[in-house]
Structure 1
């Protein structure tokens, strides 16, 4: 499970700050229920150009809620109660994403920041051909583009992700799971975005197909220079893919390090427990994650952090992590 990439720790000098493409500061997302559920708590992240930032954590920890809030895709009862999300355009200037009006947001999505959703069969329209779905993005965002140029661009991005252009005439159910996911990645690349958010893009795929798609993501990142927020519960996978990794628990970032440091010296007991939750080929069986953590509504603020520390002490005492 040793990482095979060269992770880059977050630089702190002025030139590195200028290289940031997305900055999230003290972001809070609350689901307006009775009582309210604090799903994302004071999250701060910086994504640098060309970087792959991994976001790890078990189901229900707030990963997708954070991604949807960054892209303004969250819907009621989710509400961004405080914080900021700033996009640093390579053409100059900063955009406050939480302040964009509807039309501004519509123009921003896909062209500057795109998203690959979990489960391509659900994300793609089952009664519309691949070509029609790809061309719809170009028609909406590049209305002056000719029909011939649209088709040429669609063929180009499909080739980039390893799908033969003749499959443009296929419908989603006629494609394998891996091909459908590649079509979703192609759609996200159509307008040459600077940031891609990938929400569990390979979870439903077998290991060989998953690895092939991950290699494509790395190759495309190197060729095209976009940055990626890659969301998954699979921490070992992130070690191979990411430059830096943020570990999320109950809506909070509990550890935020470069991949090498996180692998060699995980500092939070939850991170160590995540590592131990994956079965080993040899040796003793690791401890699996328990579902007994307090509910999100009970872990906000200083009291919540105290509960997390208490839980960590319990894990150490019980020998749940090594």
Structure 2
């Protein structure tokens, strides 16, 4: 479990209050319902739950990346800048959002091959971001910064001239992480960044994320359905079900003293690493229509 402390740990960098998101289709769907959440500086906050529970919708709403028919129906999302300023993200204009994103809060999307531009080199994609947000940088400074971030995530800087299809899955994911930390944001949202990677590469990526957090002090919202993975790397874990956060606790305490029946089901749906071979009976968690069934 992640236990690294930081000089400014404990202070809030993001506050989510009573946030709700509707999908306005023929029969409106409440995808996120009255979510309250606080993210602290230097913290890795895990967000767990089955597919369709609202994890990605919540992340997109926080960063104002949602598109119709999704609509934020209520709530407030506040970014607490190191400068002491509080920024109401939901009140930002589009021009302000373009400056805010990547600079203050970045996102690593699920599926690096889809997130990266397939017809543009790694160098060109990093350069576009820097030119947009740091227009005063020279060509030499842009190249130096691009090399620095690739080295930080364990990618040979000579890969700057490569296209995404020329990189392995693990390398593409590392490039996405490099892009997300390019402007040294205070928050990184990671939406299942290790999906479809083999277990060895997944382990390397997770170790890299924790190491970078320890070095640079940014906060992380790490989204996955894999609760055991979150138990290993997270400081705190929020468990989501049917659009609601049903449990939020430290990783250690949640593992030892889970309170909500759904959390206990999630913990019980993975095999034990000890005991007699063949003795385990999988208890799989089925998709449920309502939180009430677990109340």
Q: 1:29 aligns with which of 9, 14, 21?
A: 21
Partner of 2:126: 134
The correspondence for 1:47, drawn from 39, 49, 68, is 39
1:7/1:244 contact within 8 Å kept: no
1:275, distance to aligned residue in structure 2 (A):
1.3
Report how far residue 7 of structure 1 moved: 8.4
Counterpart check, 1:254 vs 2:250: no
Inter-partner Cα distance in structure 2 for 1:278 and 1:63: 20
Structure 1 residue 5 displacement after superposition? 3.8
2:117 alignment partner in structure 1:
125
Instruction: Name 2:232's counterpart in structure 1.
Output: 240
CA gap of 1:163–1:145, structure 2 versus 1, over 3 A, is same
Q: After the TM superposition, which residues 76-155 of structure 1 pair with which residues of structure 2 at under 5 Å, given as runs?
A: 76-155=68-147
Any gaps of 5 or more consecutive residues in structure 2?
A: none
The corresponding residue for 2:12 is: 20
Q: Identify if the C-alpha distance between structure 1 residues 16 and 225 changes in structure 2 by more than 3 Å, giving closer, same or farther.
A: closer
Per-residue CA shift, 1:66-111, capped at 9, x if unaligned? 0000000000000000000000000111000000001110000000
**Secondary structure of the corresponding residue to residue 66 of structure 2:** coil
RMSD of Structure 2 on Structure 1 (CA): 1.5
Q: Structure 2 length normalisation: TM-score?
A: 0.95
In structure 1, the residue matched to 2:169 is 177
Query: What is residue 210 of structure 1 aligned with on the other side?
Result: 202
CA apart distance, 1:204: 1.1
SS of the counterpart of 2:82?
A: coil
Which residue is 2:280 aligned to? 284
User: 1:307, CA displacement in angstroms?
Assistant: 4.1
TM-fit CA distance, 1:22: 0.3
Displacement after TM superposition at 1:265 (Å)? 0.6
1:279 Cα deviation after fit: 2.8
Q: Are 1:7 and 1:242, in contact at CA under 8 Å, matched by a contact in 2?
A: no
Structure 1: gaps (5+ residues): 9-14, 300-304, 310-322
Question: Offset at 1:44?
Answer: 0.5
What TM-score, normalized by structure 1, do the two folds share?
0.87
Q: Secondary structure at the match of 1:220?
A: helix
Q: CA deviation at 1:276?
A: 1.6
- Post-superposition shift, 1:248? 0.2
Change (3 A) 1:254 1:140: same
CA contact (8 A) 2:2 2:44 kept: no
Change (3 A) 1:16 1:213: closer
The answer to whether residue 227 in structure 2 is matched with residue 228 in structure 1 is: no
Residues of 2 paired with 1:142 and 1:28: CA distance? Answer: 34
